[in-house]
Amino acid sequence: MGLRLQMLGTGGAFAKKYFNNNALLYTGHQTLLIDCGVTAPISLYQLGKTWADINAVLITHIHADHVGGLEEFAFQMKYVYQQKPVLYIAEQLVQPLWEHTLKGGLGQDGIESLEDAFEVRLLREDQITRVDDSLQVEIIQTPHIEGKKSYSLYLNGEIFYSADMTFQPALLQQLVGERGCRKIFHEVQLTGQGIVHTTLDELLTLPSEIRSQISLMHYGDEMEQYQGQTAEMEFLRQHEIYEL
């Protein structure tokens, strides 16, 4: 069985109709949670899943819609399931995640560092990490907020999964033209200027051979108004499962 992707949510940071842009990646051997935002617990509940169904979590960057559910994840695994969950994280995100996001809530009962709460497995740029026999992950630093690092994912040398990022056409062209990328899951901002995100108008400037590989995620509540206006690109839907 190949990789399958199930979106826990497909919404942007401030979307109310759609959950946070988090996903479950099924490898056939285990379930990897990509990002764990504020709405991850309720989305898992609606799917009839528990934290114990997740083998590991991977974090792309430090914003609440991507890490806001980690405190509950860690506490539930410690006190309910008596397990220390696996956390894949870029080396540069370890200190800010603990000091600026989790320490205030998790810092108790013997938890004094990120490593006390999670089995931390570091990700490094230009290094491929084997999650299991079916999944290899490479992180690519992509610009989002000035001064805050954010990492998109390149899976199995053929699938690009964007973190929140500004428009990077040269990267997309390189991945498709030189690195064998066949599928792109890309965040999209439907309205306004793309100051810290990639806009739909920007994605529409890409060649059709690249657009045809793109599925759109991390959109706002106005998504339905844009049906039929995205050229070859299609919107991902939360809770649906996609064969990769």
Domains recognised in the chain with CATH numbers: 4-236 (3.60.15.10)
Share of residues in the chain with pLDDT > 70 (%): 100
Query: In whole angstroms, what is the distance from residue 137 CA to residue 180 CA?
Result: 15
Token output for 31: 């379930």
pLDDT tens digits along 116-165: 999 999 999 999 999 999 999 999 999 999 999 999 999 999 999 999 99
Contacts of 30 (CB under 8 A, 6+ apart): 55, 56, 131, 132
Q: Is 19 within 8 Å of 42 (Cβ atoms)?
A: yes
Q: What is the DSSP letter of 139?
A: E
In sequence order, the β-bridge partners of residue 150 are: 61
Average pLDDT over the chain, rounded to an integer = 97
Task: Read off the pLDDT of each residue in 51-76 and give the average, rounded to a whole number.
Answer: 98
Residue 1's pLDDT is: 54
pLDDT tens digits along 77-116: 999 999 999 999 999 999 999 999 999 999 998 999 999 9
Count CB neighbours of 242 within 10 A.
15
| Chain-centroid distance, C-alpha 41 | 15
